[in-house]
Chain A
Amino acid sequence: MYRKINFVIIVLILFLIMPTSAFCRAKGVVKHLTSITGNKEIGRFGLPGGLFFDENKNRLYFTDTTNGRILAFDADFKYISEFTGGGALTSPTSIVKDSNGKFFVAEPAKGHILKIDIGRKSIKPINFSAVPGANPVHPGNMAVDSKDHLYIVDKANQRILLFDSNSNFKKNIPVKESRGLIDVKVDKAGRIYALSVIDGSICVYDDQGNFLLKFGSRGADKGEFDFPTSLAVDRKGLIYVTDQHKNKILVFNNKGRFLYAFSQLGWREGRLHRPSFIYINNSGRIFIVDRANTRISVFE
């Protein structure tokens, strides 16, 4: 009799546990790791801009826009140094680095992208003279692919500009399918992801710039955006989008199906207040510019 009762209890427990664990896997477990804030050593952060993780050097670079500087942190998020380019940087926003160690920094207030070669002590704007278009280029966020091609959001022409590894203009990728282009990322396979804020959509293009997929919308329902600001793709192909007004990160699969969201409005560590930029490195660490909290929040 007791055996039978024990068996029934075990079966019931299994039934209870199985869906819970399945649910947990489906939702993904994202834990807050640390936060990087201003301090006495580096001073307080001004308006935070963008960030980039250098896989070769295991370093995190962050643009402190209103203080006109780039800050470097090591793999343990300890401050290493700051770079101002001797005053050449005025209000840097987006930052990327190619495999040869050259930095590219967007200065939308000046309408250019600075190419910084620290070894050669050279800081020069990329030449936009070959770029056609109705409006002068207004550079926004950037991405670099495995071939060192540079992708630049041109907000004034709703397109992505593609430059080769020698910083020569290659072509435009017009993002005709949406409005208010704000961010771009490229995955390992070379697929290009473009986020537009006005219609809250993500457009995916192949490595040649051919349109593949569009998903996402603005609205109050689950998986819809209030005000999306940035996106990133992890090594599994999951797409993470920061929502500045929902104060959450929404996660989608590679077909655009909403999976789950994490974090919420707050000031304590692990919570977000107007997140404005996201970057995911190869080891799966999620770096979020938590703009109104003036810090970088790191999740994994």
Chain B
Amino acid sequence: MPKVKNHIFLFCLIFFVTFLLSAIATCSAEAKSAEAGFKKCIECHPEIQKEMSQKGKHEPFKKYQCSSCHNPHASNYEHLIKDEIGALCKSCHKGKKGSFDKKQSHSPFEKGKCLKCHSPHSSKNPKLLTKKGEQLCLGCHTDKEMFSKKNRHDPVKKGNCLSCHSHHTSDYEELTKKSPEQICVKCHTVKKKKTEKSHLYYPVQGADCISCHNPHGSNRGSLIKENLHKPFAGKKCTQCHNSSKSADPLSMKSKGMSVCITCHPSVKEDFRKVNTHIGEGVFCTNCHSPHASDETHLKKAKEKKICTTCHQDTKERLKDKNNKHKHPSVMEGKCTDCHRPHGSDFELLYKTDEISACVECHKRHASFTHPVGKNTIDPRSKGEIGCATCHNLMGSPYDFALRFDQKKQLCIQCHKGY
């Protein structure tokens, strides 16, 4: 019996050693073959050799595996890569623990434009980044005004964007690493006497600091945003809120929209319309900041962002690559160029009737255009022909944001005889 056992052991040992040797031989043969392939590539692409000298190298590049990303013969994509960049990168880089599946995505990441930030072969910077630190971010985020204010937040001064922001995805707006209520208290404490005093002893624990403070910089002290609501500027908190000493200091003194309408009575009429953005409670604060803002009319954020918070499908439609022709106001996110933000008696909260709204800017079209208006009938719907009969201003694949290709389908929608 021991002899049989010895034989089995010997057999296993021989099998294991043979397997190991053959694996090593295969790997080394593959490596040699890859290196030979790489040499073949640099015969025509000598500039790539230089990239080999960089400190950080992409793993396949390091192993001379050009064909892991490129097809040497033919491809539908530039540089003979095997797939669209985003899909190609994500075939290996899948993200740890669902880190790529969060609610918010960095625009280049979402569009699969990985090379906006990363070099595909090698880089002197970590993570194969094309530039170092804040230089990379500021390459696209060029709003100089934002970063050149008199007073700047410490991480901004140090160019440490990633101390607050995530680079690929986040569950929070502006790709912040934590929620608005948690991100600031990571470094700042609100339980200090100085902080309590500056907030006039109103409890601010758990508040969204960014609603009043600009996290990048401000010309005002304590990074307070530029435009202030009058009672806030005058430290007259009790004009709207209960006293800081009361049992419920943050509650409002009056109910619902009357908090705002008391001082802004003309706005009340804006909401007495057929179509309005009226809501429950103090609904004005759905769009406006009651304290401070960097936007005009104390808007909470840029117009496009405010509107697409609720109009989510419009946000998606604006992103649609097929809809490359849009009205300039749509592209610039100036929704209120055409729509009333409070209320309107016209469809889609237009400023006025559709034709008058368009002619306000497109003056030439008032006298020279395809007949539109009251005496023109769309033979398909039997309704009046307007500008939006032919144009889809929110986005279209066709020139002039037309609903159909003007060379093929547009005119024959109605003019059947041609």
Residues of A that sit less than 8 Å from B by CB: 35, 37-39, 44-45, 47, 49, 65-66, 91, 93, 108-111, 133-135, 138, 155-159, 179-180, 198, 218, 220, 226-227, 245, 266-268, 273-274, 290-295
Contacts and interface: CB of A to CB of B under 8 A. Distances in A.
A38 B276 CA distance: 26
Interface in B82-141: none
Contacts of B378: 267
Contacts, number: 102
B310 A180 contact: yes
Contact of A294 (B312, B345, B383): B383
A268 B374 CA distance: 19
Contact of B280 (A49, A158, A266): A158
Contacts of B258: 134-135
B313 interface: yes
Contacts of B383: 37-38, 44-45, 292-295
Contacts of B384: 44, 294
Contacts of A110: 272
A290 B278 CA distance: 23
A65 B346 CA distance: 10
Given A108-B274, A109-B274, A157 B345 contact: no
B345 A66 contact: yes
Interface of B: 255-258, 271-274, 276, 278-281, 283, 310-314, 316-317, 345-348, 374, 378, 380-384, 388-389, 413
Contact of A93 (B256, B274, B314): B274
Interface of B is mostly: loop
Nearest to B316: A220
A91 B345 contact: yes
A273 B385 CA distance: 13
A47 B279 contact: no
26 contacts: A37-B382, A37-B383, A44-B374, A49-B274, A66-B274, A66-B345, A91-B345, A108-B273, A108-B276, A109-B272, A109-B273, A110-B272, A111-B272, A134-B280, A135-B257, A135-B283, A156-B278, A158-B279, A198-B310, A220-B316, A267-B381, A267-B413, A273-B381, A274-B348, A292-B383, A295-B382
B313 A65 contact: no
Most B CB within 10 A of own CB, among A39, A155, A159, A290: A155
Contacts of A179: 279
Contacts of A159: 280
A268 B380 contact: yes
A138 B257 CA distance: 12
B313 A245 contact: yes
Nearest to B380: A267
B313 A218 contact: yes
Contacts of B273: 108-109
A178 B72 CA distance: 56
Given A66-B345, A109-B272, A218-B312, A156 B381 contact: no
Q: Is the interface of A mostly helix, strand, loop or mixed?
A: loop
A179 B348 CA distance: 19
B381 A268 contact: yes
A170 to B, nearest CB: 20
Contacts of A65: 274
Nearest to B392: A265
A89 to B, nearest CB: 12
B57 to A, nearest CB: 39
A7 B314 CA distance: 56
Contacts of A109: 272-274, 345
A156 B311 CA distance: 19
A45 B381 CA distance: 12
A133 B413 CA distance: 51
Contacts of B256: 133-135, 156-157
Given A66-B345, A133-B256, A135-B283, 12 more contacts: A37-B382, A45-B383, A47-B274, A91-B345, A110-B272, A156-B257, A198-B310, A226-B313, A268-B380, A290-B381, A295-B382, A295-B383
A198 B279 CA distance: 11
A135 B276 contact: no
Contacts of A268: 380-381
Contacts of A49: 274
Quick one: which of A45, A49, A156 has the most chain B CB within 10 A?
A156
A37 B280 contact: no
Contact of A47 (B271, B283, B347): B347
Contacts of A180: 279, 310
A134 B313 contact: no
